[in-house]
Chains A and B, each alone.
Chain A
Amino acid sequence: MAIFSKEEARRILEKVISFSKADGIEANLNGSNGGNIRYARNTVSTSGEDSNVTLAVQSNFGKKSGTATINEFDDASLEKVVRRAEELAKLSPENPEFMESLPQQTYGESKTFSEATAKITPEYRAQAAANSINPASAKDVTAAGFLDDSHNFASMMNSKGLFAYNQSTSVNFTATMRTNDGTGSGWVTRDFNDVSKLDTAEASRVAIDKAIMSKEAKAIEPGKYTVILEPAASAELLGNMFFNMSARQADEGRSFLSKKGGGTKLGEKLVDERVNIYTDPFNAEVPASPWTGDGQARRKMDIINGGVVKNMFYDRYWASQKNVAPVPFPGNIIMQGGSASLEEMIKDTKKGILVTRFWYIRSVDPQTLLYTGLTRDGTFYIENGKIKHPVKNFRFNESPVIMLNNLETLGKQVRVDGDLIPYMKIRDFTFTSLSDAV
């Protein structure tokens, strides 16, 4: 029983708060029921379920705070965890950056829960795997994949009277299909809050087709190419950029958003003016929790608009130092797309490379947000509006900032890892070497 209802959570948290002898207390009660199935070599290798609930209590005396957690919920345990947090707080040095709890906030209506996902059974997972393995083995292809689902609840309360509660569900599916001669590989990823949108047979077909299409890739010279990036390819590079948009780092002069001579690039044009990126926890396709772990309300908000940096993220401490409103880290990212389909984007390309995904992306230079990584599982050469042949994988060295300045075309949006990212055509994307990896 890892999912507590709103009333059960409220009752436990009220009890926790009532045990407090500190200046302040904040408690987070979270739980999940999860399940997964993994397969490789066309057979299921592992499957399992797990469930857990954790209560975390943070107590503070002035600016000294301590945190303790527990996963038992009888009265004695609740009191014990509060006492432990208080003991730790007393032992801790003062943290000048400690922020007092927030009073009650107003949150929007959450859209993160789906009944169908909460009801996933082991039989469903076994069938989902079979629907991926069977079409592969019928085509001389070997399937490896992973399906992972969870039903979660999150709740918090503090001594200032704030209470927040949310339930969410998620399902993630990935499959790698390799041709049995070892020369072709394809991959697909899908993630949803609502599992009824997931069809592992449909998804697996995409990966199987790519595996067969990518057989016996030809080597072409590395260099600067026009690329069509599938949303799964650009998602992680963009994510890295957002993750580095902390206002404090920029103010301290150690961010790609720091400016020569001091100051930051807030309000300045950073990328192509057709780039519009925002967050919206209430988007039906990619819903996110309406509140953050410390109780701040999440709202729809621009991050980049018309290519201009509209918001950087301020934690509560840094916002108080700078006399601005805190800007919490977003729960999702939505990048506006265009109307072009992938087929149309290929048709409009004279010479270019279609990229399914990037792999092993690592930071090379935080100053310029330069990243390296490789293409993987389906890389194709486009000539005169048609896919000509598969190409060997490339290593790239590129910055998402440069990439978004070299934007040619925006295509349709796709959900990837909880975000909405469009297909993108980018010119002068820098490939620096070739890889023999399949």
Chain B
Amino acid sequence: MPAIVQTLNLTTLKRRDFVSLSGLALGGLVLPLPAFSKNVPVEYLLDSPIDVKQKKVLADVALNTARSLGATYTDVRIGRYLNQFLTTRENKVQNTVNTESFGVGVRVIANGTWGFAATNDVTNDGVKKATERAVAIAKANSKFQKEPVKLAPEKGHGEITWKTPIQRNAFEVPVSEKVELLLSANSAAMQNGAAFANSNLFMVNEQKYFASSEGSYIDQDIHRIWPTFNVTAVDKAAGKFKTRQALSAPMGMGYEYMMPKEADKLKGPNGIILYKNSYDIIEDAKVGAQQAKEMLTAKSVEPGKYDLVLEPNHLGLTIHESVGHPLELDRVLGYEANYAGTSFATLDKWKAGNFKYGSPHVTIFADKTQPGSLGAVGYDDEGVASKRWDLIKDGVLVNYQAIRDQVHILGQNESHGCCYAQSWSDVQFQRMPNVSLAPGKDKYSIDQMIKDVEKGIYIAGRGSYSIDQQRYNFQFGGTVFYEIRNGQIAGMLNDVAYQSNTQEFWNSCTKICDESDYRLFGSFFDGKGQPSQVSAVSHGSSTARFNGINVINTGRTI
């Protein structure tokens, strides 16, 4: 039975669709892939089908065609999206999958209305026809449009290139080398008490060419990588099993992330090892197996109020769900009401200028610029240069995430630059940038934080996550839990989940570790929209303390 990679934020990707895909090519692991992806041999991935000059010629066909048909704005995205997925289990390679998707999407404004069309026929004729369709759709839809689209100004950037600053292109690393690393990780887990070990490596390369009627011709080469595993310990006599996930993060990096450097390792409590900008999958698999075994007999948590010490690879998901999503402007306005929902962080709260989202320790910023993050690009999918802006400043709600056609609703004259489409065949819309918690200004380490806690729980890594459609009430689990008693780690805990309310939770934040502890959490699969699109996003933070949070015990017998 295939495992499912669940998207953050939504639940309605159909299980049946995943199952039907899995028979085809993806083996043990099933992913929501953009439409029109096709499998290709690995060598093929390294040739580029057309060069930047040809792309400009094609883009100009679209821009000129649209203008002659009366469009007042046009953008063209010529995209080549490459993926490689490696999946292994114990000492077996289950699958190596390469996919490629190449095509062009044209978006226009005609009669004050958006129109979009896409084609995989990347020729002058194909692009011309798609442009004609986009204009026709815009004109047809304009009959129902209540207000004309109002775009925030953006200057043309001319001919420009941007590339993720990678050291080693993961697609150029031989499959055998990557597979060997995964199998070594599985083997380390099995030698340390795991009964089962699954490991995977996902690599993404987006080659995107963007051109607009405002004079931008932007060529970008974007790389992402995600190693992960699950190791399971089983006690058949007791009828129990426990699984420990990897403490890696998906990153906007090349294969250098897979080459561990001591300087990137942090020692957490009880021998736990945490990773910054490089990852030691073999070491983590070994420790992971030992921890999975320990979980089989660990103490079940006593429910009640605890001070929580939340590690960045855990806190990132809490930030994502309770700050990232409620501050998406289109969602606040009701455009996502039938799917992910709306938001408690309504415009009146923001306008008041004193809405206390969190305690004064809490400053949360959005950006598309942090090196190594999944959101980092030079320009977004409507040609706006990447930037950084505050969402919550010293605890007060100060801004949202908005793109060119909605930022005027906030009385702002400049897009935040967070527009994205999952492929050339999907229309771009507002997507979450990196949303991160600023580290504490005073020097303060994890050890000091634990020492200062009387009755608490340290939580590392992501676990179960669920939040309501307006982002008030949430429940989060984690990967590993340690009890803190009188400033000391008192041992591992099981069955921990915490429940809180977004505003209460962020107002209970009393301390944040300093910059030396700052790390990124991330997800490849943030879902939004109907039809649904996925996007990749990172969330940075240092370990943070939250006082008096309600912890429940999730243990049951059936």
Contacts and interface: CB of A to CB of B under 8 A. Distances in A.
A432 B464 contact: no
A365 B243 CA distance: 10
A36 B552 CA distance: 42
Nearest to B98: A88
Contacts of A254: 195-196, 232, 234, 241, 243
A360 B467 contact: yes
B11 A236 contact: yes
B25 A258 contact: no
Interface stretch (B74-82, B274-282, B494-502): B494-502
Interface of A: 28, 36, 38, 40-41, 43-48, 50, 52, 54, 56, 58, 67-71, 84, 87-88, 91-93, 95-97, 142, 144-146, 148, 174-176, 178, 236, 239, 243-244, 246, 248-249, 252-254, 256, 258-262, 292-294, 313, 315, 329, 331, 359-370, 372-374, 376, 393, 395, 397, 399, 401-402, 417-418, 432-438
B146 A43 contact: yes
Interface string B139-180: 001001010000000000000000000000000000100010
Contact of B468 (A41, A68, A374): A374
B521 to A, nearest CB: 17
A71 B232 contact: no
A206 to B, nearest CB: 14
B350 interface: no
13 contacts: A40-B336, A56-B39, A68-B41, A93-B179, A236-B11, A239-B15, A252-B196, A365-B555, A367-B240, A433-B475, A434-B473, A435-B473, A437-B344
Given A71-B36, A365-B495, A41 B195 contact: no
Contacts of A433: 473, 475, 499, 550
A239 B15 CA distance: 8
Interface residues of B, number: 78
A174 B11 CA distance: 14
B23 A402 contact: no
Interface string B335-374: 1111101101000000000000000000000000000000
A246 B499 contact: no
Interface stretch (B88-96, B218-226, B265-273, B438-446): B88-96
B334 interface: yes
Contacts of A69: 24-25, 38-39
Nearest to B91: A96
B14 A417 contact: yes
A335 B126 CA distance: 49
Contact of B466 (A144, A253, A362): A362
Given A68-B38, A95-B93, A144-B335, 11 more contacts: A46-B427, A50-B425, A68-B39, A249-B1, A254-B243, A359-B469, A360-B11, A368-B558, A395-B468, A433-B499, A435-B473
B480 to A, nearest CB: 15
Interface in B409-430: 425, 427
A432 B475 CA distance: 10
Contacts of A41: 333-335
Given A142-B334, A175-B338, A56 B25 contact: yes
B6 interface: yes
Interface string B468-484: 11111101010000000
Contacts of B39: 56, 67-69, 84, 88
Contacts of A256: 558
B449 interface: no
Contacts of B137: 48
Given A28-B24, A365-B554, A258 B475 contact: no
Given A38-B530, A68-B41, A174-B338, A293 B472 contact: no
A417 B92 CA distance: 36
B525 interface: no
A47 B6 CA distance: 26
Interface of B: 1, 6, 11, 14-16, 19-20, 23-25, 35-36, 38-41, 92-94, 96-97, 116, 120, 137, 141, 144, 146, 175, 179, 195-196, 232, 234, 236-241, 243, 333-339, 341-342, 344, 425, 427, 464-473, 475, 477, 495, 497, 499, 501, 530-531, 550, 552, 554-558
Given A68-B39, A254-B232, A372 B497 contact: yes
A56 B334 contact: no
Contacts of A259: 239
A95 B92 contact: yes
A420 to B, nearest CB: 15
A432 B499 CA distance: 9
A331 B6 CA distance: 21
Given A253-B195, A359-B469, A372-B464, A36 B530 contact: yes
A7 B556 CA distance: 55
A124 B16 CA distance: 27
A187 to B, nearest CB: 8
A1 B335 CA distance: 33
A243 B2 CA distance: 9
Q: Which of A253, A256, A399 gathers most chain B CB within 10 Å?
A: A253
Contacts of A417: 14
Q: Which of B14, B333, B338, B475 gathers most chain A CB within 10 Å?
A: B338
Nearest to B235: A253
B556 A370 contact: yes
A71 B344 contact: no
Contact of B501 (A28, A393, A436): A436
A259 B240 CA distance: 9
Q: Which of B1, B20, B93 gathers most chain A CB within 10 Å?
A: B1
Nearest to B342: A178
Given A261-B237, A369-B558, A52 B36 contact: yes
Nearest to B88: A93
A364 B476 CA distance: 9
B309 to A, nearest CB: 21
A84 B41 contact: yes
Contacts of B472: 435-437
A293 B24 contact: yes
Nearest to A142: B334
Contacts of B469: 359-360, 374, 376, 437
A156 to B, nearest CB: 10
A243 B15 CA distance: 8
Contacts of A367: 240-241
A362 B344 contact: no
Contacts of B554: 364-365, 370, 397
B23 A294 contact: yes
B475 A372 contact: yes
Rank and list the top 4 A-B pairs by shortest CB-CB distance, nearest first: A260-B239, A293-B23, A246-B1, A435-B473
Nearest to A239: B15
A95 B92 CA distance: 7
Nearest to B6: A362
Contacts of B239: 253, 258-261
A260 B338 contact: no
